[in-house]
Amino acid sequence: MNQSKLTFFTVEEMTTPKEGYICYLNRYWCLSEDGKIMRYKGYSWHCNSQESCAQHIANKLYCGKILFLPVAYVPNEFAETFT
């Protein structure tokens, strides 16, 4: 995976609610080697509600680590379009 196309977020960033963010429930997130959550090209979150799917992606593309988060808050890139 081309690291230059990834954006990294800490678990703390992803679990802190912010105005206008979208709430993702019960997802397994692929992690970088240093434990950060990744987004590809600014719009594709590497997560899945199925543990086996997230683990497969993590094993193929990354270091094989995943993390379950019952709640995560992600930036809503389209919010500015409607305000």
As a whole number of angstroms, the distance between CA 45 and CA 38 comes to 7
Q: In what order do the strands lie in the sheet with 37-40?
A: 6-9, 37-40, 44-45
**Cβ proximity of 34 and 6 under 8 Å:** no
**Cβ proximity of 49 and 66 under 8 Å:** no
Tokens representing residue 42 in the block: 């600014």
As a whole number of angstroms, the distance between CA 79 and CA 75 comes to 9
Reported pTM: 0.84
Question: What share of the chain in percent tops pLDDT 90?
Answer: 61
pLDDT score recorded for residue 36: 94
pLDDT digits (tens, 9 = 90+) for 2-38: 677 888 999 999 999 999 999 999 999 999 999 999 8
